[in-house]
Copies of this chain bind each other. A is one copy, B any other.
Amino acid sequence: MRILLVGAGGVGGAFTAIAARRDFYEAIVIADYSAERAEKAAAADERFTAAQIDATSKDAVAALCREHRITHVMNAVDPVFNMSIFDGAFEAGADYVDMAMSLSKPHPEAPYEKTGVKLGDEQFAVADRWEAAGRLALVGMGVEPGLSDVFARYAADHLFSEIDELGTRDGANLVVTDDNGNEIFAPSFSMWTTIEECLNPPVIWEDGEWFTTAPFSEPEVFDFPEGIGPVECVNVEHEEVLLMPRWVDCRRATFKYGLGDEFINILKVLHTLGLDSTEKVRVKGVEVSPRDVVAAVLPDPATVGPRMKGKTCAGLLVTGKGKDGLPRKSYLFHVVDNETVMADYGHQCVVWQTAINPVVALELVARGTWSGAGVLGPEAFDAVPFLDLLTEYGSPWGQKELS
A residues near B, CB below 8 A? 185, 265-266, 269-270, 272-275, 277, 281-284, 286-290, 292-294, 296-298
Nearest Cβ on chain B to A78's Cβ, whole angstroms? 14
Contacting pair A297 B288 (CB below 8 A) = no
Nearest Cβ on chain B to A202's Cβ, whole angstroms? 22
Contacting pair A298 B273 (CB below 8 A) = yes
- Which residues of the partner chain B approach A281 to less than 8 Å between Cβ atoms? 293, 296-297
CA gap between A283 and B266 in the complex, in Å: 21
CA gap between A20 and B168 in the complex, in Å: 66
Nearest Cβ on chain B to A151's Cβ, whole angstroms? 34
- Which residues of the partner chain B approach A292 to less than 8 Å between Cβ atoms? 283-284
Contacting pair A297 B284 (CB below 8 A) = no
- Which residues of the partner chain B approach A284 to less than 8 Å between Cβ atoms? 288-289, 292
- Which residues of the partner chain B approach A275 to less than 8 Å between Cβ atoms? 275, 293-294, 297
Indicate which residue in B185, B265, B269, B283 contacts A296 across the interface (CB closer than 8 Å).
B283
Contacting pair A269 B265 (CB below 8 A) = yes
- Which residues of the partner chain B approach A289 to less than 8 Å between Cβ atoms? 283-284
CA gap between A283 and B293 in the complex, in Å: 6
Contacting pair B288 A283 (CB below 8 A) = yes
Nearest Cβ on chain B to A298's Cβ, whole angstroms? 7
Among residues of B, the one whose C-beta sits closest to the C-beta of A184 is B272
Indicate which residue in B270, B277, B287, B297 contacts A290 across the interface (CB closer than 8 Å).
B297
- Which residues of the partner chain B approach A270 to less than 8 Å between Cβ atoms? 269
Q: What are 23 A-B interface contacts by the 8 Å CB criterion? A: A185-B272, A185-B273, A265-B265, A266-B272, A269-B269, A269-B270, A273-B298, A275-B293, A275-B294, A275-B297, A281-B293, A281-B297, A282-B296, A283-B288, A283-B289, A283-B292, A283-B296, A286-B286, A286-B288, A288-B288, A288-B293, A290-B293, A293-B293
